[in-house]
Amino acid sequence: MQADSLWTVSEDQFEPKRQNHAETVFTTGNGYLSTRGAMEEGYPGERRTTFISGVFDDIPISLTELANAPDWLELHLLLSGEVFRLDQGEILGFQRVLDLRTGLLRRSVRWRSPMGRTTRLEFERFSSLADPHLNILRVRVTPEDYAGTLEVHAGLNGDVDNEGFKHWEWLGQAAHNGSLWLHTRTRKTHIELGQAARLTLSGPAPIQGDGWDVHNHPTLVRRTALQPGQTAYVEKVVAVYTSRDVPQPLNAARAGLDPAVLPSPAWDHLWEPHAKAWEKEWAACDVTIEGDDEAQIAVRFSLYQLLIAAPRRDERVSIGAKTLSGYGYRGHAFWDTEIFMLPFFTYTRPEIARNLLSYRYHNLDGARKKARNNGFKGAQFPWESASTGEEVTPTWVPYFADPTKMVRIWTGDIEIHISAMICFALCQYWTATGDDEFMLQRGAEVFFEVARFWASRAEWNKSAERYEFRDVIGPDENHDHVDNNAFTNAFARWTLRTARRLLDWVEQRDPALAADYRARLQLDEAELTLWQKVAEKIYFAYDPSTGLVEQFEGYFQRRDIDLAAMEPRTESVQGLLGIEGANLVQVIKQPDVLMLAYLLPELFDERSLHANYDYYTARTDHTYGSSLGPSIQAIMACRLGRQEDAYEHFIRAARADLRDVRGNAGDGIHGASAGGVWQAVVFGFGGLRVNEKGWTVQPHLPAHWKRLTYRFKFRGQEQVIDLPGKGPFSSEEA
Ligand code: BGC
């Protein structure tokens, strides 16, 4: 099968120095688990990782992280007694190709061993999208210029760690009679993991084999002989279950490989349903761009990365800021999910969006606990979230510029807009899908509890006669401990008002349910009146004479520095000036007021939009600030008709991981940027706007794009927008 270049990402050289970046880019997975693109035989410095969604474990001191699962990938080849390794001998040919259309990772190698023997090797692997518990890899091995032996070692390695910390304890294993399994458990959270593997070797000559029952690393060995030009086929198929999925994960894994259900070799058997499942995914969400191959590939790459991180069958997990593809942020979920990634799912795969939103609903108790511990009412969602909804932001971390120093992280304490973001995402989902049932049964409760949090967190300023939110961090994290961040205040007001309207709606739709909410949550009239009072009197710093919104109180008094004069630079402004230094100047890490204008456009008129765009764009660290920024900046530029600006910001987002713009792609995919790329194409260039009444499209294509096609679902109906092309560019009602 010839891969289409607009559907692939590839590399033509083995580059140990950038292997961590390549591992992130070549991640394969199916939403249940993801495996970084490490090579089967393993290299020094690699970050060889498989993460299973929701499998968190604790580490000292009160931190929790996704646990790197025992390695299913491992495969060693001995060619006439010489170990196959690319860092020895000579590489005569090398190519790795990730087919985004099917999630297939292929590596083609021609290798001359230190003894001068040349072999051709074709590796392929995928994790099944049709049966998320099954993973498979195969290798075709062809000696070119020698007759010799091939020996294959395929293990399940439980001796893995998260950059030093070991999460797994051994429960049992076997490696005999062709059976290979490993049973382990996370140390603290006690999640059991069952893995079973089957190794097949076939070729023209007889096959021999045995097993090595090394503790915590059971391994199967197979041997055969090959003549020049003959090919041997090696296949390793691995089943993975955890006690989050079934009560007896080991039994389930072993049963999954029973030859009665999975013939040997298994590749073709697994491939067909897997490829079909991918075809269905892409049919629902593909975006095509003519006239810009780089953008085309980058968009598909972004969607691929989101799709392999998305929970299809589990509503108790979210998607971490680094998806399931790296150690960055320890697998924790941020507002990145609701505001940046979720719209893609809401509009193309609403069932997945529903799972992601349900995760927050199931974690309400954790959020209630956080509010209570901080002396507030209702639900305060954590800035960083893992499995329980309790706050998991580390309070101290090593300072990136000098790891011998520790830095206090305040986001978990005071970056409070996250709770409103969850409500916003709920509304967006509701508007797009019309899923009243979900809003009635789950969304409403989240909303009421968050509104109650805002009302109790607000402080009355007697002299100014207004409600305020003091000591917060807004989206722009260059400035912490600020008062009255406009974004936070506006979203507190929005949540309070929307929650009140929502309660009226529930009362109308289902009076018994409304009565139940009022009783169970003890929502009395006094509290509802407070919501209204707070909403009416929340301070919002808008200056009618200039149209500017002050990002927070006193922002305009911070020192204005000339960003252009700092060029050329390869570091963020915060990196150059230090945390304290950056706090004193106006440079922002990511859009804050503009983010507000994007999400709540009704707050800004045309003049104000232009004024804020000009003011804040000049003060934003676009290149090295947050990866969340460029896509939003691109959308706002589109809305203001600034096409060239828009493309410049968009392509910056599109390159974030493919080109490793910030030098940290090795830590995992920037999930928010990937989601932002979709939004920039659809809501920015593609001009889609949606509200309760319907949708409209006002395109702003970059001059060199010949055609853009995207699809989305509105109230269950699939819509395909083909630009430029004939309308109608709106739903009937809009
Ligand atoms: C950004 C946050 C973001 C977090 C995780 C930070 O650098 O400022 O907005 O939520 O990264 O991606």
SS3 string of 403-449? Answer: EEEEEECCHHHHCCCHHHHHHHHHHHHHHHHCCHHHHHHHHHHHHHH
The distance of Cα 299 from the centroid of its chain, to the nearest Å, equals 15
Cβ atoms of 140 and 122 closer than 8 Å: yes
Best CA proximity match to 195, nearest among 204, 185, 203:
185
The answer to whether residue 173 is domain-embedded is yes
Kindly state if the Cβ of 527 falls inside 6 Å of ligand 1.
no
Cβ atoms of 700 and 691 closer than 8 Å: no
Residue with the nearest Cα to atom 6 of ligand 1?
626
Q: Can you tell me which atom of ligand 1 is nearest the CA of 590?
A: 8
Decide: pTM greater than 0.85.
Answer: yes
536-563 burial: b if 16+ Cβ within 10 Å, else e:
ebbbebbeeeebbbbbbbebeebeeeeb
Residue with the nearest Cα to atom 9 of ligand 1?
475
Best CA proximity match to 423, nearest among 451, 396, 401:
451
What is the reported pLDDT for 177?
77
Q: Can you tell me which atom of ligand 1 is nearest the CA of 671?
A: 12
Q: Provide the 3-class DSSP secondary structure of residue 315.
A: coil
The answer to whether residue 619 is domain-embedded is no
Neighbour tally for 305: CB within 10 Å = 30
Kindly state if the Cβ of 383 falls inside 6 Å of ligand 1.
no
β-pair partners for 152: 77, 222
Distance between CA atoms of residues 435 and 79, nearest Å? 59
In a 13 Å sphere around the CA of 26, the CA atoms on its Cβ side amount to: 25
Best CA proximity match to 239, nearest among 254, 217, 251:
254
What is the reported pLDDT for 400?
80
Q: 518: Cβ–Cβ under 8 A, 6 or more apart, which residues?
A: 524
Kindly state if the Cβ of 334 falls inside 6 Å of ligand 1.
yes
Mutation to probe ligand 1, out of 628, 632, 667, 670 (largest number of atoms < 8 A from CB):
628
DSSP assignment of 175-195, as one string? Answer: EETTEEEEEEEETTT--EEEE
Best CA proximity match to 4, nearest among 282, 310, 285, 349:
282
Question: Pseudo-torsion of CA 391, 396, 399, 404, nearest 10°?
Answer: -150
What is the reported pLDDT for 178?
74
β-pair partners for 223: 151, 208
Distance between CA atoms of residues 74 and 123, nearest Å? 12
Element holding 537 (H helix, E strand): helix 525-537
The answer to whether residue 95 is domain-embedded is yes
Below-70 pLDDT ranges, the chain:
1-3, 62, 725-728, 732-734
Q: Compute φ and ψ for 728, nearest 5 degrees.
A: -75, 145
The answer to whether residue 97 is domain-embedded is yes
Q: Please report which residue ranges of 640-726 form alpha helices under DSSP H.
A: 643-654, 671-679
Compute, in angstroms, the gap from residue 335 CA to the centroid of ligand 1. 8
The answer to whether residue 617 is domain-embedded is no
The distance of Cα 149 from the centroid of its chain, to the nearest Å, equals 43
Among this protein's residues, is 477 annotated catalytic? Answer: yes
Compute, in angstroms, the gap from residue 554 CA to the centroid of ligand 1. 23
Cβ atoms of 461 and 469 closer than 8 Å: no
The answer to whether residue 461 is domain-embedded is no
Q: 566: Cβ–Cβ under 8 A, 6 or more apart, which residues?
A: 573, 576
Kindly state if the Cβ of 418 falls inside 6 Å of ligand 1.
no
Q: Can you tell me which atom of ligand 1 is nearest the CA of 589?
A: 8
Q: What is the CATH number of the domain that holds 38?
A: 2.70.98.40
Q: 280: Cβ–Cβ under 8 A, 6 or more apart, which residues?
A: none
What is the reported pLDDT for 730?
78
What is the tally of structural domains in the chain?
1
In angstroms, the Cα distances linking 633 to 590, 646, 652, 689 are: 9, 7, 10, 17
In angstroms, the Cα distances linking 286 to 157, 349, 561, 732 are: 37, 12, 42, 24
Mutation to probe ligand 1, out of 332, 473, 477 (largest number of atoms < 8 A from CB):
477
The answer to whether residue 541 is domain-embedded is no
DSSP assignment of 494-533, as one string? Answer: HHHHHHHHHHHHHHHH-HHHHHHHHHHTT--HHHHHHHHH
Cβ atoms of 357 and 316 closer than 8 Å: no
Kindly state if the Cβ of 298 falls inside 6 Å of ligand 1.
no
Distance between CA atoms of residues 38 and 238, nearest Å? 17
In angstroms, the Cα distances linking 615 to 405, 586, 600, 719, 726 are: 35, 11, 19, 37, 37
Distance between CA atoms of residues 334 and 68, nearest Å? 20
Sign of CA dihedral 333, 335, 338, 341: negative
Cβ atoms of 264 and 134 closer than 8 Å: no
Looking at residue 236, its amino acid is K
Tokens of 536: 């009416």
- Of the residues 315, 477, 527, 550, only one is catalytic, namely 477
The answer to whether residue 494 is domain-embedded is no
Q: 730: Cβ–Cβ under 8 A, 6 or more apart, which residues?
A: 694, 695, 696, 697
What is the reported pLDDT for 733?
59
For tokens 């392929």, name the residue: 124
Q: Provide the 3-class DSSP secondary structure of residue 363.
A: coil
Distance between CA atoms of residues 497 and 451, nearest Å? 8
Distance between CA atoms of residues 195 and 181, nearest Å? 6
Distance between CA atoms of residues 731 and 717, nearest Å? 11
Compute, in angstroms, the gap from residue 421 CA to the centroid of ligand 1. 14
Q: Which domain holds residue 66?
A: 4-248
